[in-house]
Structure 1
Amino acid sequence: MKSKFSLSVSLAATVAAGLLFCASCKKKDATDNSGPTDTDAAYASDQVQLEKAFEDVESIADQASMDGDMSTYRITGGCATTTYDTASATRKITIDFGPTDCLCSDGVYRRGKIIMTYTGHYRDSGYVHTLSFDNYYFNDNQLTGTRTVSNKGKNSSGQSYFSIDVNGAIILDKSAGTKKWTSSRTRTWTNGESTKTRLDDIYSVTGSGTVTRVDSSAFTGTITSPLIIATSCDWITQGTIEIVPSGTGKTRTLDYGSGTCDAVATLTVGSKSRTITLHR
């Protein structure tokens, strides 16, 4: 994010790019009926899986745009080749994992292409880039749609902020169905903008979106306390998302904690809570 081609950071430093993004609950004792059920946890799993998938490709594209070399990037290892088309006003970077599965250094199999088109420079107001996909798969799950990031200039505190719009889906392996996500968020660069290193970058994210589940039911996911994303951590370190099913249904709250870098969150329904493990 420190070069002129740099994109917004991923959900965390690498935010588990392109990994099997799902949140699953720790198994409860059969006699323990005090907390949210596995059905409740499935809503949180859908939210986390979609969010991580699109944040991860952002992280991969960010590294490619900065260095042009994916061989030392722990998300992709030596799997990807990167090509640049800078001849026109709208420029393009293509990250190609090849037509067959490549085992990346994070243990995830990837194939296909991530394509980024952009105009301007990341730090400049008015900059826009869009990510799209050409038969891109992670662990045999296909990612489709677009993610668009726009630099909106400076806020009243002098911090750069960006709009992030996603309209995409995950087509699950083994014909298990499709999960869709549309979202509109604001990402504010709260720390590290004045330095050249990415490791001190911290972002605050607000906004909401709608998830359509495999069974065609839907829910909204609204950030009720800003998500704090630090590039030095693989996980969201802080913030809450309120999950509300369309029509009638219980509200679920996913809480990432108060600043600790770990792979756990808390799911709450009413007065009952349970721990969620965020799996790679």
Structure 2
Amino acid sequence: MKLLVKKFALFSCLAASILISSCSNTDDSGDVAVDYSAENSTRAAQADNVIENTLNIMENGYVEAEEGRSIANSFFPACTVITIIPNGEGGTIILDFGTGCTLNNGSVVTGKINLEYGGIVSGTRTITYTFEEFTYNGHGVTGGGEIVREIENANGFPASTVNETITVHFSNTEITATRVGLRMAEWIEGVGSGTWEDNVYRITGNWETTFSNGFSRSGEVTEPLIRKLSCVYLVSGTLDITQQSITGTLDFGDGTCDNVATFIFNGQEYTIILGL
């Protein structure tokens, strides 16, 4: 699989959190065993969820501050201080969550996200993002990258293409997970409605996540992932993953908002818990 890092993001390899401590599968020759690590799989799910939600926070911060959308019913509560510093045709947006702020979808965040951007060129704008002591549900987030924001893409939707190098620092452990990849998100429902609650995104892309303990995983979206901003989990779509020298498919379901997905490997199905 070709990893498109330098173009412009989950997204993530969310095939994780298998509800068994380990299992072994043997191929047709009977001489290949595969062991699953429940601990590493859980961390992979947590990392993907943290990153996807962080990207949604950034995108909605920009949309509300610069494009003036969803202001009637903001995604951000009063504990979020949003500062806009103009600079010619561009500027800087600072999303400051202080020492603790619960967003309107229930996520708890702290610290700051900085978004710097230039002017609009041919209907697109490049946004550079960085973090300052930012945490999502207790997990630290560092790194950064660029977002190419399209006012309207070829399909007629507002869209963001993210080039990401983001590290998640898990709480209560020294282990970190760094995701490098490309994530494209189209805003397919709720545009111009004045509220964040009906916003729906279609996500494609590919990425690789490397853990400080040596575990790694790569993923590629094969059926667009669907994200409802009112839900902190993906609700449908499929992701092909490679980990521990095996490949499989993660199916996120039928559109229901829950923390359950299905991992399919060698014709067998495993229930996956995605949540924190």
Bucket of the pairwise TM-score, normalised by the shorter protein? 0.7 to 0.9
Which among 196, 209, 212 is matched to residue 210 of structure 2? 212
Cα distance in 1 for residues equivalent to 2:256 and 2:106? 25
> How many percent of aligned residue pairs carry the same amino acid?
25
Confirm or deny that 1:126 pairs with 2:119. Answer: no
Confirm or deny that 1:58 pairs with 2:55. Answer: yes
**Secondary structure of 1:45's aligned partner:** helix
Residues 109-165 of structure 1: CA deviation (Å, up to 9, x unaligned): 54321111123469x72122232111223354321111422135532x434443221
Q: Count residues in correspondence.
A: 251
Rate the CA distance shift 1:97–1:231 in 2: closer, same or farther, 3 A.
closer
Confirm or deny that 1:45 pairs with 2:42. Answer: yes
Rate the CA distance shift 1:112–1:38 in 2: closer, same or farther, 3 A.
farther
Residues 44-92 of structure 1: CA deviation (Å, up to 9, x unaligned): 5344323322332333344544269x9x867x65543222211344311
Q: How does 1:186-197 map to 2 (within 5 A)?
A: 186-193=184-191, 195-197=193-195
Deviation at residue 257 of structure 1 after TM alignment: 0.9
Q: In the alignment, which residue of structure 2 is the partner of 1:235?
A: 233
Q: In the alignment, which residue of structure 2 is the partner of 1:24?
A: 17
Rate the CA distance shift 1:242–1:44 in 2: closer, same or farther, 3 A.
farther
Aligned-partner residue type, residue 163 of structure 2? D
Q: In the alignment, which residue of structure 2 is the partner of 1:260?
A: 256
Confirm or deny that 1:113 pairs with 2:112. Answer: yes
Cα distance in 1 for residues equivalent to 2:54 and 2:125? 19
- Bigger mean CA deviation after superposition, 231-240 or 178-187: 231-240
Confirm or deny that 1:176 pairs with 2:174. Answer: yes
Conservation of the 8 A alpha-carbon contact between 1:189 and 1:203: yes
Conservation of the 8 A alpha-carbon contact between 1:253 and 1:267: yes
Q: In the alignment, which residue of structure 1 is the partner of 2:245?
A: 249
**Secondary structure of 1:169's aligned partner:** strand
**Secondary structure of 1:274's aligned partner:** strand
Cα distance in 2 for residues equivalent to 1:53 and 1:41? 18
Aligned-partner residue type, residue 267 of structure 2? S
Rate the CA distance shift 1:42–1:243 in 2: closer, same or farther, 3 A.
farther
Rate the CA distance shift 1:188–1:43 in 2: closer, same or farther, 3 A.
farther
Aligned-partner residue type, residue 24 of structure 1? S
Q: Which runs of 5+ in 1 are unaligned?
A: 1-9, 12-20
Deviation at residue 234 of structure 1 after TM alignment: 3.4
Structure-1-length-normalised TM-score: 0.72
Rate the CA distance shift 1:54–1:211 in 2: closer, same or farther, 3 A.
same
